[in-house]
Structure 1
Amino acid sequence: MVNQSPLLNTILGTTFTWGMTALGAFVVYFFKGPSKKITDGMLGFSAGI
């Protein structure tokens, strides 16, 4: 990636960020809600435990 043009790196980075945002929105849109166990796991992970 060092030898690529800055414009190409910008396009790739923007596309990757958009894709991850779209993937997260897809998950939230199509699934009703996480179970208690999944919620506890996500909270523990975000707290660094």
Structure 2
Amino acid sequence: MLQGHSSVFQALLGTFFTWGMTAAGAALVFVFSSGQRRIL
């Protein structure tokens, strides 16, 4: 995937990316739950 980087670094990068996307999705739920339930 990322040549020149260790597999441990790539695993950490994937973990943090997944965590970040999960946090962004949870934040969207809190932002849009105030009154726009049709979007969810």
Give yes or no for TM over 0.5.
yes
Give TM-score scaled by structure 1 length. 0.62
Give % identity.
43
Write out per-residue CA displacement over residues 1-49 of structure 1, whole angstroms, 9 at most, x where no aligned residue: 1220001001100000000000000001121221xxxx7xxxxxxxxxx
Structure 2, unaligned runs of 5 or more: none
- More relative contact order in 1 or in 2 (CA 8 Å, sep 6+)? 2
Runs of 4+ that moved beyond 4 A: none
Tell me the amino acid that sits aligned with residue 11 of structure 2.
Answer: T
**In 2, Cα distance between the equivalents of 1:13 and 1:3?**
16
Where structure 1 has 5 or more consecutive residues not aligned to the other structure, the ranges are 40-49
TM-score, normalised by the number of residues in structure 2:
0.74
